């Protein structure tokens, strides 16, 4: 891989640090931004939005941390095609002009582009319940895009829990037969490596850190990901592990209704079996996170979400 003015270890240290205001970040981020600019010339991105609410795109775009935003997001807005060669919501082009860019990128950068999928993929009735664009007057299904674009990608990155594991799009009764990308690729015998960035929505830092990791250093080493294909730097520990309410739990103080002081286990908190660094990274650029706002963790980064975690506000 390419050489940068920082090592993979330094990069991972930055990625592990929580959100805004990390010590040394002001010096590190310009170097990271320059490196990403170089890397995307060689490894462009195609981002397709399948069966999803667009919340993950909104979450990533809405990051207000200016330096992190500069690293990647300023380069993907319409008018700058440096990083992102296709994103159906962000790009200015529409119709066949936009889907044509995806096809052309895949042709020109065979084996090198990164295919980002947001949302689950409808599969019932050959995928007809989810389409993107048309060819010769006929809709092209999301399933067909996956069949065309995934095999020649360097890696597939799933953004959000719907893309990673099916999520809300695949919740019962799942009339469109929506599936998570990894499971679907396996059933199609497509062996392209998948890196999952779950969350409902996906945290901007998880997205930026994972994309930058793959762009700069290639596929993560086996020891860097967990058994669900997530970078351990973000998903290696449970929410419960670093929760602010652990002392309440240890002292046997449990909230029995919303607004009460105590551990939220009895009102449905799924933190003990949910992985993510929300307690230390927090959301909205470090302002708050679910449990701090007195909302039980609903386990949004896990494959069982939402069906296996329901009713969300009852103890499992
Ligand atoms: S509120 Fe949830 S994550 Fe926090 S200690 Fe209680 S069960 Fe664990
Ligand atoms: S605390 Fe739980 S529900 Fe909230 S964002 Fe993190 S993983 Fe998702």
Stretch among 8-22, 45-59, 72-86, 286-300 having the lowest mean pLDDT: 72-86
- For each of the domains in the chain, give its residue range(s) and CATH number, in order of start: 8-234 (3.40.50.700), 237-316 (4.10.480.10)
202 catalytically annotated: no
**Whether pLDDT at 80 is above 70:** no
Mean pLDDT of 114-129: 96
pLDDT at 286 (0 to 100): 84
Ligand 2, atom 1, lies closest to the CA of 297
Mean pLDDT of 299-312: 96
Q: Which listed residue (56, 65, 87, 203) is catalytic? A: 56
**Whether pLDDT at 185 is above 50:** yes
% of the chain surpassing 90 pLDDT: 62
Q: Which residues contact 267 (CB under 8 A, 6 or more apart)?
A: 255, 256, 257, 258, 296, 313, 314, 315
What does each C-alpha distance from 233 to 72, 123, 276 come to in angstroms? Answer: 19, 32, 9
Which DSSP category does 273 fall into?
G
Which atom of ligand 2 is found nearest the CA of 302?
A: 7
In b/e form, how buried is each residue of 252-270, taking b as 16+ CB within 10 angstroms? eebbeeeeeebbbbbbbbb
Six-digit token string for 198: 């779950």
CA of 200 to the centre of ligand 2 (A): 8
**Whether pLDDT at 308 is above 90:** yes
Q: Which residue has the higher pLDDT, 190 or 133?
A: 190
Place 277 in a pLDDT band, splitting at 50, 70 and 90. Answer: very high
pLDDT at 94 (0 to 100): 61
**Whether pLDDT at 73 is above 60:** no
pLDDT mean across residues, the chain: 87
Q: Which residues contact 222 (CB under 8 A, 6 or more apart)?
A: none
Which atom of ligand 2 is found nearest the CA of 270?
A: 2
Q: Which residues contact 8 (CB under 8 A, 6 or more apart)?
A: 216, 217
**Whether pLDDT at 91 is above 90:** no
300 catalytically annotated: yes
**Whether pLDDT at 41 is above 90:** no
Pocket-forming residues, ligand 1, beta carbon under 6 Å: 239-240, 243, 245-246, 249, 263-265, 269, 271-272, 291, 297
Q: Which listed residue (162, 202, 203, 309) is catalytic? A: 162
Helix and strand counts by DSSP (H, E) for the chain: 13, 9
Six-digit token string for 17: 């640090």
Nearest to 159 by CA among 95, 102, 223, 87: 87
Which atom of ligand 2 is found nearest the CA of 300?
A: 8
pLDDT at 6 (0 to 100): 83
| Cross-strand pairs, 263 | 254
CA of 207 to the centre of ligand 2 (A): 15
% of the chain surpassing 70 pLDDT: 85
> Which class for 193: exposed (0-12), middle (13-18), buried (19 or more C-beta within 10 A)?
middle
**Whether pLDDT at 97 is above 70:** no
**Whether pLDDT at 115 is above 60:** yes
Tell me the three state secondary structure of residue 264: coil
């Amino acid at each position: 891989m390419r050489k940068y003015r920082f090592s993979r270890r330094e990069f991972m240290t930055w990625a592990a640090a929580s959100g805004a205001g990390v010590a040394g970040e002001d010096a590190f981020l310009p170097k990271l931004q320059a490196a990403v600019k170089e890397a995307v010339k060689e490894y462009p991105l195609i981002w397709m939005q399948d069966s999803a609410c667009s919340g993950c795109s909104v979450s990533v775009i809405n990051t207000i941390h200016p330096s992190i935003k500069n690293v990647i997001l300023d380069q993907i807005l319409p008018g700058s095609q440096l990083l992102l060669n296709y994103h159906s919501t962000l790009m200015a082009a529409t119709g066949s002009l936009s889907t044509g860019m995806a096809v052309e990128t895949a042709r020109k950068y065979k084996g090198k582009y990164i295919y980002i999928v947001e949302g689950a993929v409808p599969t019932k009735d050959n995928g007809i319940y989810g389409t993107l664009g048309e060819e010769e007057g006929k809709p092209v299904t999301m399933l067909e895009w996956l069949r065309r674009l995934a095999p020649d990608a360097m890696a597939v990155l799933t953004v959000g829990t719907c893309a990673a594991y099916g999520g809300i799009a695949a919740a019962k009764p799942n009339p469109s037969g929506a599936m998570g990308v990894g499971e679907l690729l396996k059933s199609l015998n497509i062996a392209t490596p998948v890196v999952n960035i779950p969350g409902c929505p996906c945290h901007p830092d998880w997205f930026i850190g994972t994309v930058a990791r793959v762009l700069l250093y290639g596929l993560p080493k086996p020891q860097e990901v967990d058994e669900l294909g997530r970078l351990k730097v973000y998903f290696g520990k449970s929410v419960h592990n670093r929760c602010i309410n652990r002392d309440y739990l240890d002292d046997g103080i449990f909230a029995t209704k919303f607004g009460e002081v105590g551990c939220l286990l009895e009102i449905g908190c799924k933190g003990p079996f949910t992985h993510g660094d929300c307690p230390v990274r927090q959301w909205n650029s470090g302002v708050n996170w679910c449990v701090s706002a007195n909302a039980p963790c609903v386990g949004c980064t896990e494959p069982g979400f939402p069906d296996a975690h329901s009713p969300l506000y009852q103890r499992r």
